[in-house]
Structure formats: structure tokens, C-alpha cells
Amino acid sequence: MKTTYIRKRKRPVGCGLWASYVVDVDAFGTWFYTPAHSRYRGDDGSTCEVAQMGPGGPGEHAVHLAPRDGWWFATWRPGGLLVADVSTPPEFADDEWTYVDLELDPYRRPDGTVGTEDWDELAEAHAAGLINDHEYGAAVEAAHTLEMQFSQGTEPFGTTGWTRLSEAIALGLPPLTSFGDRPVS
């Protein structure tokens, strides 16, 4: 199965990189699978497992979606957490997907609670000029839209993402732990 890299950028500096299997492309966008115990590398050279439940903890399986048209990058985890990075629209170039994190993190927890974290970080980044007015507006709109879609179970946030996750886990693919010679930043 084809693999690719996913690069999450922060402003003014900061970057993380992980490898993922490309499992499908459909009307929603490009779906990726990152098996449990796959590695994530920060721009400082540190590594950890992708989809950790907490700092230093083991990572879970994760299915990700880069939307065809959207200011977010979503992740489903078998513990029941659905979370999205509100971001610039993910772009594919040089065998990797890249997006810039715009701070907000809409979520649906296993108990059904829906919300968005890090409004203060968005405000601080906007005030510092790290997020421009257009990006700020798009981030706020994306967070509110995702909260509504998470609450209503609008696809792909209803059963589609969870089905994708179950199907990906059933493939039995090995964890991705190598970064090859790909630089982080």
C-alpha cells in the first residue's frame, strides 16, 4: 500500500512530520491510516507515537482525512475521539501533505461532548500577525461548521470515518516508524 508523509506546520516556527498509508480518495477527500505505534517527529528532533492518549503514552490507530475543500485536517481514533486541526487547506506536493495549523481544535469526545479548544491561542496568533484576517475568519467559520457537523453526525463525521477506521485497522498494516531522509522543517 502506498505511503505518504503528513507535515503539520505552526507559525512562526514549528513543524511535525509522520508517515501514513493512503487508503482511499473519495468525494470527501484523501483518507490516510496511521497504525498504532507509528512515529511522529518534531522539528527539534524529538519523536513520539502518533495519536497518543497523553504525553509519553502509547499511540492509537488513527484515520485522517484531508478534505477536498476545507480548512481542516480530521482524525478519528478507536478510543472514540474525533478531532480536527483547523488549518489552511491541506496541500499535496513532493509526496507529502502539508497544512498550517490555525490553532483551533474542534472535537467530539467519546461521551458525545462537542466543543473547540484553543480560542485564546487563535486570538493571540491573530493579534501577533501570525494569522491574517482572511485566515482568522476562515478558522472561526471552520470551527463553528465542524462543531455543528460533529453534533449532527453529518458525513463524513457520522459513520463514514468510523467505518474507515475499522476497515483500516483490519488491514493489519505495520506501524510506520521511518522518516527516510525527509527533513522535518
Residue ranges of domains in the chain: 3-170
Question: Per the omega criterion (within 30 degrees of 0), is the bond before 12 cis?
Answer: yes
Buried b (16+ CB within 10 A) or exposed e, 97-118: bbbbbbbbbbbbeeeeebebeb
What is residue 53's predicted lDDT score, i.e. its pLDDT? 66
Q: Hey, what's the cell of 181?
A: 531522509
What is residue 184's predicted lDDT score, i.e. its pLDDT? 75
What is residue 75's predicted lDDT score, i.e. its pLDDT? 97
What is residue 56's predicted lDDT score, i.e. its pLDDT? 64
**Three-state secondary structure call for residue 110:** coil
What is residue 158's predicted lDDT score, i.e. its pLDDT? 97
| Nearest by Cα to 25 from 4, 41, 46 | 4
pLDDT in tens, the chain (185 residues): 999 999 999 999 999 999 999 999 999 999 999 999 999 999 888 888 898 766 667 889 999 999 999 999 999 999 999 999 999 999 999 889 999 999 999 999 999 999 999 999 999 999 999 999 999 999 999 999 999 999 999 999 999 999 999 999 999 999 999 887 887 77
Its pTM stands at 0.95
**Element at 33 (helix H, strand E):** strand 29-34
Helices of type H across the chain: 119-127, 133-152, 160-170
- Residue that is written with C-alpha cell 501577533 in the block: 128
The alpha carbon of 181 is separated from its chain's Cα centroid by a whole number of angstroms, namely 23
**Element at 25 (helix H, strand E):** strand 15-25
CATH number of the domain located at residue range(s) 3-170 in this protein = 2.40.380.10
